[in-house]
Amino acid sequence: MTPAVDVVLQVIGLRCPMPLLKTKQALSSMEVGQVLKVEATDAGAWRDIPAFVALTAHELLQCEEDGELFVFYIVKGE
C-alpha cells in the first residue's frame, strides 16, 4: 500500500550527489511527521538515500525500484 504523501520531490535525470542533496533540502523545509516521496533515476540514490535516512531521525517507510525509476517514501523525523 502506498503511503499518503505530503511532498513529492522529482530528481529524475539528476546525477549523484544531487538526488541526496535535494532530498536533504526538501526534508529540512517540512514539518515533523510529513511524508516525502522522492523519485530518482540515478542508481546511486538506491544506496545513498536509505544510508542517509538510517543516520537521521527520519524514517524510510518504503522504497521501490521500477525499471530505471527509484521511489522512496520518507517520514520527516524530529
7, 16, 18, 60: which one is catalytic?
16
CB 28 within 8 A of CB 36: no
Task: Give the Cα separation of 43 and 48 in Å (integer).
Answer: 9
**Coil, strand, or helix at residue 69?**
strand
- Is 16 known to be catalytic? yes
Residues assigned a catalytic role: 16
